[in-house]
């Protein structure tokens, strides 16, 4: 199977090339030329396997240039016993009859990004062996919080890789800073910069594309690669857990094979829900994909009208990982629903960068409407939902998940659709203790000390603090460097030990 670019259909690359390069030369995103199709039997067989077995089956449909041994090595490395706190890796938890929560946050950083970032380093190093003579991979990340930590954990001590994370010194939460600065591993480095997230991101992009630095790396048999969410290697692992959730529903006799389900996803960059779209297009029986947004409701408007407009107020919310106005992965959906029309995608993306908006034509919009529903809620509704479902079901969820739960129950009330539903849960509530404490009626316990707030939340709710978050308290701080933006390239070369 081959991959092409959303902005140039004449591009044809293997999975390994798509993963090593991250983004196509003309700026498009890599997409599969055809979406593999599965049968009911395939799903029935998948249900007999554990998560690792399911991942191997689904991934081998997309990574056709990987050998069976290579896929085994990658998947076992990522999801082996002990990496995730649940033996099921991504377990379902029933909220009420017909509504299950798919918990994607049992990995080492307690957010769903681990599902992909635990696997990506293996996919990337295996791909580089095929396409780049086994060069040492250097990963640069600019982070506003969660991605940096998940990348550090994923790449920690993976042979032939280095990972270097830059974060804005005043732009991440105290707990996020601690998570990163206590990072273990011999091939990692974390550095704060004076400036905001955009400064960090712009400078990283500059280093990434600097011919001078790239040449120095090449002399030392090294190359840059990226771990951000437009890399196909981050998307493909996410397809697996939608199949896995369906299999779990089968095994729990909640559905029979062929029954349709709805899937609800709290959405930012449109990566997670796009993986669900691929699962549906492959043949997973899905009625609706419900895209849940916070006050930054650009996607709700788009899915309701076909008009995408980033020119709007930006809100900082209690679900910060969804505070996004340009959802990069939407570009892949546009390609597929337009019948692989690269010119159309190019026009849309040009419109977006030049005018801040674009509108899709009627036929593409109808195809989108056939699969997707959109909805959003504000911070007040998010917190109300956390309190309500904690009281009603004794289930504690984080702010991002609560956005999805709110949007789902609104959808159900408005449509009467009672199709069995899976709601993706993307973070542990302990990662967002202040908002969750307030939501369960204990705002007075909000303070400066992140550990104390986690303790309070645990005492009140009798929920256990995830081990990786509790463990940070006793870990030494390894990284406390703060630099000016101009010094970042020196930090990179310094870490790699080259002049
Ligand atoms: C990244 C993230 C999201 C958004 O996922 P996308 O794939 O960007 O749509 C939602 N919730 C949490 C906790 C996240 O970290």
d(CA 148, CA 229) in angstroms, rounded, equals 12
Closest residue to atom 14 of ligand 1, CA basis: 321
Contact indicator for 191, 217 with CB cutoff of 8 Å: no
Helix (H, G, I), strand (E, B) or coil at 133: coil
Q: Is the dihedral of CA 216, 218, 221, 224 positive or negative?
A: positive
List all residues 6 or more positions away from 468 whose beta carbon is below 8 Å from its beta carbon.
108, 109, 110
DSSP string, 358-371: EE--HHHHHHHHHH
Tokens of 8: 């140039």
Please provide residue 359's backbone torsions phi and psi, each rounded to the nearest 5 degrees: -125, 135
Of all protein residues, whose CA lies closest to atom 4 belonging to ligand 1?
A: 268
Give the model's pLDDT for residue 200. 85
Cβ atoms within 10 Å, residue 65 = 18
Handedness of CA 365, 370, 371, 377 (dihedral sign): positive
Report the DSSP beta bridge partners of residue 482.
192
Q: Which neighbouring-strand residues pair with 376?
A: 293
Q: Please state, in angstroms and rounded to a whole number, the distance separating the CA atoms of residues 224 and 7.
A: 23
Starting from the edge strand earliest in sequence, which strands make up the sheet with 8-13, in order?
8-13, 3-5, 30-32
Cβ neighbours for 195, distance < 8 A, ≥ 6 positions apart: 168, 169, 485
- Cα 151 to ligand 1 centroid, rounded to whole Å: 14
| Catalytic positions | 113
Taking Cα atoms as reference points, which of 367, 373, 400, 372 lies closest to residue 386? 400
Phi/psi at 28 (5° precision): -80, 170
Q: What is the pLDDT of residues 414-436, one digit of tens each?
A: 999 999 999 999 999 999 999 99
Strand order in the sheet with 421-425: 92-96, 99-103, 421-425, 261-266, 286-293, 372-376
Predicted confidence at residue 198, as pLDDT, reads: 76
Give pLDDT, residue 480.
94
Q: How many CB atoms lie within 10 A of CB 311?
A: 10
Candidates 269, 271, 265; CA nearest to 288 is 265
Q: What is the pLDDT along the chain (499 residues), one digit of tens a residue?
A: 999 999 999 999 999 999 998 889 888 999 999 999 999 999 999 999 999 999 999 999 999 999 999 999 999 999 999 999 999 999 999 999 999 999 999 999 999 999 999 999 999 999 999 997 878 999 999 887 788 999 999 999 988 999 999 999 887 877 888 999 999 999 999 999 998 877 888 888 889 888 999 999 999 999 998 888 889 999 999 999 999 999 999 999 999 999 999 999 999 999 999 999 999 999 999 999 999 999 999 999 999 999 999 999 989 899 988 988 889 999 999 999 999 999 999 999 999 989 999 999 999 999 999 999 999 999 999 999 999 999 999 999 999 999 999 999 999 999 999 999 999 999 999 999 999 999 998 999 999 888 999 999 999 999 999 999 999 999 999 999 999 999 999 999 999 999 8
Atom of ligand 1 minimally distant from the CA of 400: 11
Q: Give yes or no for a contact between 88 and 123, defined as CB atoms under 8 angstroms apart.
A: no
- How far does the centroid of ligand 1 lie from the alpha carbon of residue 10, in Å? 32
d(CA 126, CA 139): 15
* Nearest-CA residue for atom 1 of ligand 1: 321
CA of 401 to the centre of ligand 1 (A): 10
Q: Is 272 in the pocket of ligand 1 (CB under 6 A)?
A: yes
Residue 400 near ligand 1, beta carbon < 6 Å:
yes
Provide the pLDDT for residue 366: 97
Tell me which long-range contacts 247-252 makes (C-beta under 8 A, separation of at least 24): 247/43, 247/46, 247/47, 247/49, 247/54, 248/88, 248/91, 248/92, 249/92, 249/100, 249/420, 249/422, 250/43, 250/44, 250/47, 251/47, 252/92
Query: How far apart, in whole angstroms, are the C-alpha atoms of residue 322 and residue 325?
Result: 9
Closest ligand 1 atom to residue 271 Cα is 7
In this prediction, residue 209 carries a pLDDT of 83
Q: What is the pLDDT of residues 436-488, one digit of tens each?
A: 999 998 999 999 888 999 999 999 999 999 999 999 999 999 999 999 999 99
H helix intervals, 286-395: 298-305, 330-337, 342-355, 362-371, 379-393
Output the residue whose Cα is nearest ligand 1's atom 11.
Answer: 426
Residue 231 has a pLDDT of 92
């Amino acid at each position: 199977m081959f991959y092409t670019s959303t902005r140039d259909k004449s591009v044809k690359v293997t999975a390994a090339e798509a993963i090593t390069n991250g983004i196509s030369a003309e700026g498009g995103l890599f997409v599969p030329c055809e979406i593999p199709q599965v049968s009911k039997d395939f799903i029935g067989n998948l249900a007999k396997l554990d998560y690792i077995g399911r991942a191997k089956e689904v991934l081998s449909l997309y990574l056709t240039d990987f050998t069976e041994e290579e896929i085994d090595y990658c998947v076992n490395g990522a999801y082996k016993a002990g990496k995730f706190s649940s033996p099921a890796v991504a377990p379902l938890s029933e909220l009420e009859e017909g509504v299950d929560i798919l918990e994607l946050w049992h990995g080492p950083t307690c957010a769903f990004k681990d599902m992909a970032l635990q696997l990506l380093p293996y996919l990337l190093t295996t791909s580089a062996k095929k396409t780049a003579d086994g060069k040492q991979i250097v990963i640069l990340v600019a982070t506003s919080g969660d991605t940096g930590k998940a990348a550090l954990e994923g790449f920690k001590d993976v042979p032939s890789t280095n990972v270097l994370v830059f974060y804005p010194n005043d732009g991440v939460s105290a707990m996020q800073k601690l998570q990163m600065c206590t990072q273990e591993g011999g091939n990692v480095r974390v550095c704060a910069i004076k400036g905001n997230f955009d400064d960090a991101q712009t400078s990283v992009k500059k280093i990434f594309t600097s011919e001078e630095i790239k040449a120095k790396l090449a002399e030392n048999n090294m190359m840059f690669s990226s771990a951000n969410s437009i890399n196909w290697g981050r998307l493909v692992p996410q397809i697996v857990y939608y199949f896995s959730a369906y299999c779990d529903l089968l095994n729990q006799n909640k559905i029979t094979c062929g029954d349709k389900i709805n899937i609800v996803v709290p959405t930012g960059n449109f990566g997670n829900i796009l993986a669900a779209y691929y699962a549906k297009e492959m043949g997973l029986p899905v009625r609706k994909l419900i895209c849940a947004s916070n006050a930054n409701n650009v996607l709700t408007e788009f899915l309701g009208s076909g008009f995408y407009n980033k020119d709007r107020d930006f809100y900082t919310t209690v679900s910060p990982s969804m505070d996004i106005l340009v959802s990069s992965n939407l570009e892949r959906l546009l390609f597929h629903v337009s019948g692989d029309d690269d010119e159309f995608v190019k026009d849309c993306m040009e419109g977006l960068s030049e005018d801040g908006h674009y509108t899709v034509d009627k036929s593409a919009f109808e195809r989108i409407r056939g699969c997707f529903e959109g909805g959003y809620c504000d911070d007040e509704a998010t917190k109300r939902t956390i309190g309500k479902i904690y009281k009603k079901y004794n289930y504690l969820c984080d702010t991002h998940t609560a956005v999805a739960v709110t949007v789902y129950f609104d959808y159900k009330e408005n449509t009467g659709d009672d199709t069995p539903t899976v709601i993706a849960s993307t973070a542990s509530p302990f990662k967002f203790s202040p908002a969750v404490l307030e939501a369960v009626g204990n705002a007075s316990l909000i303070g400066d000390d992140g550990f104390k707030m986690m303790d309070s939340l645990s005492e009140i709710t009798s929920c256990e603090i995830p081990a990786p978050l509790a463990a940070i308290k006793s870990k030494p701080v390894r990284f406390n460097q703060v630099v000016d933006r101009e010094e970042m390239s020196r930090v990179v070369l310094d870490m790699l030990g080259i002049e």
